[in-house]
Structure 1
């Protein structure tokens, strides 16, 4: 007889989930997870998360992206005195294919000490990020319009990207003008360094990617292990080998996903339907 496991809504119904953030991410996460899991997202804001690392380089992040999110989750859980916690961490760089497009990877780490599991939600996409060394207001307005100001905020500092006299969170044209001319008056080289403010509460594009990561996390938490019923049964490995369309040899394209449990050893290989024939571009025989 097939074992009947509790559905995720029952597992987390009324459960308080600590979420440490100072940048408004709770407004993105709660509308996804609360109805999907029947949990309660408990916002913790008594710690300045910028002290754990800043995108503007004053404070380097300690450890990897997931390690940073895990640390935030643990701090929130300790402060809220709960056994389930959640945290978000973003990373920016070039896109993983061509390396030419600004890219944003967002991860959400869910820690459940009652079940002894950790589940990660991920989303990525083109980022709204950029920087420019400017000398006049015309260049400032050009940069601001290119990044979609004021829906995407601006940070600036005199002289160069290493100057410690930084002004963050600029989301108003009047404030931008005042801060620019002030920084220009402080600059010894007649330049001001502008960059997109990447913090979630003033970066519209990043907020959307965080929201997508929340949906990914929800999907994983609602997927139960067929063997033990633990949430988070999802892809842990991918298998290459779609046959090449020209020669039939295995390509590097993905033909199957291996789903695994976060608690027990259960694994399941799920073949990708409709994979068809592989692109010779990814075939070592045709394209060594």
Structure 2
């Protein structure tokens, strides 16, 4: 029989130890043909060495073997790539336009011939806004080797984003070596997670000029549930049924104007003019002669 409490320590050099788990019960008891068994030790974090120490007067049996269980690798969302052709070209500058606000996190440059160019990437969400630099200058190359179709090319650049801008620009240095490139923007499709409340079915509406995404601590909830259940636990998958239905249509993409606010500002400005006019008229009046 075994019934003890242990402490698990971790170290990277066998000299400096830190406790990662305390008062962990180890139980192996049998009675009336039934067995109560608890021999698992959960270790949080990374360490090169681990040691198990009994607490109190407990004594541990001889350790014969250890079976380590690694947590499953988190599921990764595959990358999607958009290939864009220049919509405008200048001297060493090429502009591109996306047809949506994708969460772009990677960028790559491709060409139809051998190339070696230093590029800098810029973007903006409005055609009249200032360009914002999204990458440091990097060398992009593409070299034909061996048989036709065998090419060596530079790796895609990771951005500090994600950026959801509509307009993008590549600037070459030096400008003489640049030919019209193809801009490839990479993104991972986002996953929508919602907490269902009320009776199903639910409706999903997308496309609005006024709606703004609200940050909710859903990630905290999912992480807590994974700790309680299993590292590989996933929320229940929802699916769309039926054909999509147009609601507001193109009108939902038009920004709404707050006419009440404009009216209040107009009334406030009119009141200021009236008060100013009364003050000027009073100042122009001649004072009555004193008796």
Shorter-normalised TM-score: what interval? under 0.3
In terms of fraction of residues, the more strand-rich structure is: 2
TM-score between both structures, scaled by the size of structure 1: 0.26
Structure richer in helix, relative to its length:
1
The higher radius of gyration belongs to 2
